[in-house]
């Protein structure tokens, strides 16, 4: 079993190489053979029907959550854009109210946002906040139109009812007036299919590009991603770099991260480890902890001709791991086990691998699934849990030989573990899946 653990560890390290995608295949294990294996294949039709209805209800709940999350996300984007417009100094509430009553649209906007959120010295009052936004929106103030429009998409009540048509009309009006943040938000709505449910990709691209050309950092970042992934436009890393640099020059950490990843993972002449390191370090300085993981990969593997430096790799992996990034935690765990860049420490290895696996990191799960079931740092119930979850993981199922390898590990565990240990492993696997599928609590 120890040899299998070493094999799993080495495979996990190999799968992190930039060209690992070439080894993937498209086959997934039968869902009923994994976590729910306690259910007999010949279960009564009524039980299967209840399960089908429950699955449908779960899917509908998940879809509804995604819809609500998208709409709330629009508001978060708006507030990020709004932060640059609001003054740093908190205005005198009474003076603000007085100016708002006189028809000052900027004061009305601040009154609306202040009373909606309970900030700027005001007590939260949703009805009053909606009223102030409506008053300045009626004066064609685009920020107010955008804010009120998003509230119609969310349907907060107290004077702002759920009304997709009205919300979209207000946001489009603001977009047509030239407000970049409204253009970005409307582009996302068109891509999502709001209102009406039918996506309009041409409209989405038009508004993304219009806002990006005006210097909107959100839209420049989005254009970079569209070209990088080939969504709405033909895939082009060169165009992705051009747009990402525009956003990165404004200090956008996500665009700096994207630049680093492109330079890191591209073949020459586009690939450039020095440029990758430059942009990834900038991204880290702007709070993009995931960039630390890519820096760790750069130095661990010597990607693109970079000098291999396991010690520096471990330092970056730790920085990303301590910020909670699962890929960095998994890499650090594997480095601790083999003693590369750090002193070998199996206990520390298991600690970081478990933290990564709990977040769904496939390679960490795979490494844990092959640990010795007796006398090791991980209890047998946990090992069985990770084996079951690995057998169902979509990323792992795409690797040649992985399915048969995992089945072999499970067969060996079935012959070693007690009935109670396996039952506990199944219970833990089921609970883990339930946690992953539950919408996060706001």
What number of other Cβ atoms are within 10 A of residue 427's Cβ? 14
CB 228 within 8 A of CB 240: yes
Q: What is the set of domains in the chain, with CATH numbers?
A: 67-177 (1.25.40.10)
Q: pLDDT band at 11, cuts 50/70/90?
A: very low
**Is the pLDDT confidence value at 138 over 70?**
yes
Given a cut of 50, whether residue 33 has pLDDT beyond it is no
Question: Over the range 390-415, which residues count as b (16 or more CB within 10 Å of their CB) and which as e?
Answer: bbbbebbbbbeebbebbeebbeebee
Say how many C-beta atoms besides its own lie within 10 A of residue 157's C-beta: 12
pLDDT tens digits, 309-342 = 999 999 999 999 999 999 999 999 999 999 999 9
pTM above the 0.85 mark? Answer: no
Reading the block at residue 171, the tokens are 């946001």
pLDDT in tens, 383-396: 999 999 999 998 88
For 125, residues 6+ apart whose C-beta sits below 8 A from its C-beta are 115, 116
- Both tokens of 126, joined, read 């949703």
Cis peptide before 85 (omega within 30 of 0): no
Mean pLDDT score, 12-32: 33
DSSP secondary structure of 104-164 = -HHHHHHHHHHHHHT-TT----HHHHHHHHHHHHTTT-HHHHHHHHHHHHHT-BTTB---H
Look at residue 160 in the predicted model and tell me its pLDDT. Answer: 84
At residue 21 the predicted structure's pLDDT band, cuts being 50, 70 and 90, is: very low
Helices within 286-377 (DSSP H only): 290-301, 310-322, 326-338, 346-358, 362-369
Q: Identify the band that residue 377 occupies on the pLDDT scale cut at 50, 70 and 90.
A: confident
| Structure-token match 């199944």, residue found | 426
Q: 361 to each of 236, 261, 352, 355, 367, how far by Cα in Å?
A: 29, 19, 11, 9, 10
> Using one digit for the tens of pLDDT, what is the confidence trace for 247-294?
999 999 999 999 999 999 999 899 999 999 999 999 999 999 899 999
75-133 pLDDT per residue, tens: 889 988 887 666 555 678 899 999 999 999 999 999 998 898 888 888 999 899 999 99
- Planar angle of CA 429, 424, 437, nearest 5 degrees: 20
> Can you state the percent helix, strand and coil of the chain, rounding each to 5?
70, 0, 30
The pLDDT score that the predictor gives to residue 80 is 85
Give 205-232 pLDDT, tens digit per residue: 999 999 999 999 999 999 999 999 999 9
Provide the residue count of the chain. Answer: 442
If one counts every other C-beta atom within 10 angstroms of the C-beta of residue 318, the result is 21
The pLDDT value recorded for residue 66 is 66
């Amino acid at each position: 079993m120890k040899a299998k653990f070493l094999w799993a560890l080495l495979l996990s390290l190999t799968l992190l190489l930039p060209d690992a995608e070439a080894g993937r295949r498209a086959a997934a294990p039968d869902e009923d053979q994994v976590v729910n294996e306690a259910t007999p294949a010949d279960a009564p039709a009524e039980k299967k029907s209840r399960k089908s209805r429950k699955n449908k209800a779960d899917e509908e709940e998940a879809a509804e959550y995604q819809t609500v999350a998208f709409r709330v996300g629009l508001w978060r984007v708006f507030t990020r854009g709004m932060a640059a417009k609001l003054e740093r100094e908190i205005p005198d509430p009474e003076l603000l109210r007085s100016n708002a009553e006189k028809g000052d649209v900027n004061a009305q906007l601040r009154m609306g946002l202040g009373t909606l959120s309970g900030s700027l010295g005001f007590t939260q009052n949703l009805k009053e906040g909606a009223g102030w936004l409506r008053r300045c929106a009626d004066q064609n103030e685009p920020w107010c139109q955008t804010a009120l429009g998003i509230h119609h998409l969310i349907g907060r009540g107290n004077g702002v009812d759920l009304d997709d048509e009205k919300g979209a009309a207000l946001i489009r009006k603001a977009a047509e007036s030239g407000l970049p943040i409204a253009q970005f938000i409307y582009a996302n709505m068109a891509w999502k299919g709001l209102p009406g449910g039918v996506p309009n990709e041409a409209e989405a691209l038009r508004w993304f590009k219009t806002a990006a050309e005006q210097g909107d950092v959100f839209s420049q970042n989005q254009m970079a991603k569209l070209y990088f992934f080939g969504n709405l436009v033909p895939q082009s890393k060169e165009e992705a770099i051009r747009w990402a640099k525009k956003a990165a020059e404004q200090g956008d950490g996500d665009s700096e991260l994207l630049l680093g990843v492109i330079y890191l993972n591209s073949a020459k002449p586009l690939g450039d480890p020095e440029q990758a390191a430059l942009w990834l370090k900038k991204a880290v300085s702007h709070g993009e902890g995931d960039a630390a993981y890519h820096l760790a990969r750069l130095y661990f593997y010597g990607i693109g001709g970079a000098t291999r430096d396991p010690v520096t790799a471990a330092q970056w992996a730790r920085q990303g791991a301590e910020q909670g990034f699962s890929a960095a935690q998994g890499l650090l765990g594997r480095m601790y086990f083999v003693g590369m860049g750090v002193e070998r420490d199996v206990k520390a290895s298991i600690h970081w691998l478990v933290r990564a696996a709990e977040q769904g990191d496939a390679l960490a799960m795979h490494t844990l699934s092959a640990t010795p079931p007796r006398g090791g740092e991980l209890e047998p119930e946990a090992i069985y849990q990770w084996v079951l979850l690995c057998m169902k993981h979509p990323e792992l199922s795409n690797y040649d030989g992985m399915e048969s390898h995992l089945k072999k590990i499970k067969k060996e565990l079935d012959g070693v573990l007690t009935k109670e240990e396996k039952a506990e492993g199944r219970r833990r696997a089921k609970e883990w899946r339930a946690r992953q599928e539950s919408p996060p609590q706001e």
